[in-house]
Amino acid sequence: MLSMPELPEPVLNANAETVLGKRYYRRDEHGKPVEDGKGLFWRVASAVAGEEKKYAASAWTADDLALAFYDLMTSWKFLPNSPTLMNAGTELGQLSACFVLPVGDSIEEIFDAVKFAAMIHKSGGGTGFSFSRLRPRASRVGTTGGVASGPVSFMRIFNTATEQIKQGGTRRGANMGILRIDHPDILEFIRAKEKDGEFNNFNLSVGLTEAFMEAVERDEDYALISPHTGTEHGRLRAREVFDLLVSRAWLSGDPGIVFLDRINRDNPTPAQGEIESTNPCGEQPLLPFEACNLGSINLARFYDPSGTETGARGGIDWNELKRGVRLAVRFLDNVIDASRFPLPQISERVRRNRKIGLGIMGWADLLYQLRIPYDSDAALALAERVMALVRDTGREASAQLAEERGPFPAWEESILPARGLPPLRNATITTIAPTGTLSIIAGCSSGIEPLFALSFARNVMDGERLVEVNPYFEEALRERDLFSADRMARVTESGSIHNMDDLPPELRRVFVTAMDINPIWHLRMQAAFQQFTDNAVSKTVNLPHDATEEDIRSVYLMAYREGCKGVTVYRDGCKASQVLTTGTAGASAASPAAAPAATPVRKRPDFMTGFTQKVQTGLGAMYLTVNEIDGKPFEVFATIGKSGHSVTAKAEAIGRLVSLALRSGVAVQDIVGQLKGIGGEHPLFQSGGLLLSIPDAIARVLEARYMHGALAGSHCSSLEGQHCPECGEPLVFQEGCHRCPSCGYTKCG
């Protein structure tokens, strides 16, 4: 590390100080921090700049470059990904956030991947996997004569292993799991997160192909392919599978989708193989055993109040933005040299391709300063202009590095020379990554996301709650003499000013939040940035609670048509643990409530009438008898198969428990809510859609008879907030992760 000169102290906001103190500062053997903000940022700047000494033709000295890097970071114009902040200049020295590991179709390869993932998680990285090479469930295993258990069963092993590993004492392991849409076990994969808590260390995405999407649009069947034989393993109706994807996303937000063909068209080094997976949040497609280090430019710091070329107020300092991009590209390329990777296979591939991922954050804050509404054509046009500059300037900087240091070793075998590009130091340059924790440190909005709330309360010492207001919103209110304690209390309660008629319409139009914005504008913004991004864009399309499946279907189809490489949707309140973002509901939900009085079980009369309905399930014909009193269900009998079979026993048990619930006064819609959507081993397509299991079949009969087909409030009925385990504040869901805007806690998966 270079010796520290006289340096200005970085100005840390209260949230940044909390986050850095908890997760980033180096500690002694007793767990006490041994550095402050200045020490951290000099450690990082000097360690990364020190790599410059390797290159005699460099335009910089290591000392001058370290000062430039320190200034770039402590002015909050740029920050690298968290592993770089945590580990640069330390013995661990693992500086990359994103890794993809192969999962082969053998026990040895599968458990090698588990071991490798554990090593990466321990070093501070996240891992992506494609499970598409694994043979489907019930396939023959030639070496043993047994049968395979399929990808989903092995994913549980990865999930359990991840649970046991704390990343370097600072970050919990996160994974991406991908399965191709044409894998025979795709239906089981789509339903893998139906049970709350399953695969809690995974984000899941289905790898869609253009052939599948064309079959959806033409309403045709498509083939399932066994990966170990390459032969057809059955056919499914594409539109029904697509509808199931939409339904699962509506219910829980999982799985997301990625467009594999589109990703591989942009694979710069196809001679090295096909891209099968991405990192945990989906923005970084990578080859097996490849890694990438990321960093983000904070656009809010490039606002120029004297500018006149953009927006209703001011503009952008374009020259300073170019300077920041050039420095950031040099920084990220040096990180590759400085990083010590956990596996030799990763070291070899990373240094062969030298991928970096420079993105942006503070986009919503920049729009607020310019007084441009997020959901407007002006914002889309500016997004394209900004990202085009980042891409083009980034390529110029990478070309300059190639002149000084040589292009990345795989340059000649890449597709980039054929695209007319000059020799580049890096196979990819731009990525728009999640910046949840980084944006807290920098005091800006996250990635390209709109703000989730204009004002929120956070817990501080001794139980005190401190209200934090977006500074640009507060400035706008004070300019008009509209700032007041009463008004801010109302904003903090709702998070939004969308319905506050006592504020000027132009303010309500500009200061929109995530839930104020029509979902299509979320998607259009993602597509605008994707046009000028080498890799992919991390973005969540947030939808209100009353959004329909048709809304999600429209988002998915638009993502395909607009050139996105993937998309994640999240309908507010769609998980069993409702994610609250503002207000005081979370506090009341956490308070213990008195236990309700027990409801007596009604006795069964000797004579009852009802009906019996035959339902064809994947396990055979089920006969469901429902007896009624006064037109309401009182008891249920489910019969399937021969007496003594386990399936018959399970059906009888479900019927008895449903009967007990009905006789105890439980509403039929609550029973339907618990049973509907439960997955089983043998789903069956019917005219009403995909019937998943015996309990799902019982729910459908009860729903059709007593609820007139209305959807029960099952997975989405709870209004209890999911709160941060560290500070107690409500979590928000953005960029594929639950994160705490107060203390920086994040949980992906």
State the catalytic residues. Answer: 279, 281, 283
What is d(CA 383, CA 370) in angstroms, rounded to the nearest whole number? 13
Give the total residue count for the chain: 749
423 φ, ψ (degrees, to nearest 5) = -55, 130
The answer to whether 278 and 431 have CB atoms below 8 angstroms apart is no
For residue 723, what is the DSSP state? B
What is d(CA 146, CA 301) in angstroms, rounded to the nearest whole number? 61
What is d(CA 212, CA 222) in angstroms, rounded to the nearest whole number? 7
What is d(CA 456, CA 461) in angstroms, rounded to the nearest whole number? 16
Identity of the residue numbered 489: A
* Cα angle 227, 229, 232; round to 5: 80
Element (H, E) at 493: helix 485-494
What is d(CA 691, CA 714) in angstroms, rounded to the nearest whole number? 16
For residue 283, what is the DSSP state? S
What is d(CA 505, CA 573) in angstroms, rounded to the nearest whole number? 28
438 in helix, strand or coil? helix
The answer to whether 394 and 537 have CB atoms below 8 angstroms apart is no
For residue 20, what is the DSSP state? I
Phi-psi region of 311 (alpha: psi -120 to 50; beta: other; left: phi over 0): left
The answer to whether 196 and 253 have CB atoms below 8 angstroms apart is no
* Cα angle 624, 627, 631; round to 5: 120
Residues contacting residue 194 through CB under 8 Å, at least 6 positions apart = 248, 251, 252, 677, 678, 679
DSSP of 415-448: STGGGTPPP-S-S--B-B---HHHHHHHTS--TT
Strand spans (E) along 229-282: 232-237, 256-259, 277-278
Q: How many CB atoms lie within 10 A of CB 273?
A: 15
Please, what's the b/e burial string for 675-684 (b: 16 or more CB within 10 A of its CB; e: otherwise)?
A: bbbbbbeebb
Please, what's the b/e burial string for 378-396 (b: 16 or more CB within 10 A of its CB; e: otherwise)?
A: ebbebbebbbebbbebbbb
The answer to whether 231 and 223 have CB atoms below 8 angstroms apart is no
What is d(CA 155, CA 740) in angstroms, rounded to the nearest whole number? 27
Task: Single out the residue of 722, 629, 714, 740 nearest to residue 200, CA to CA.
Answer: 722
Tokens describing residue 416: 């980039």
Tokens describing residue 122: 């321990």
Identity of the residue numbered 132: S
The answer to whether 154 and 110 have CB atoms below 8 angstroms apart is yes
Beta bridge partners of 748: 737
- Where helices occur in 221-259 by DSSP H, the ranges are 238-252
The answer to whether 146 and 99 have CB atoms below 8 angstroms apart is no
Identity of the residue numbered 701: V
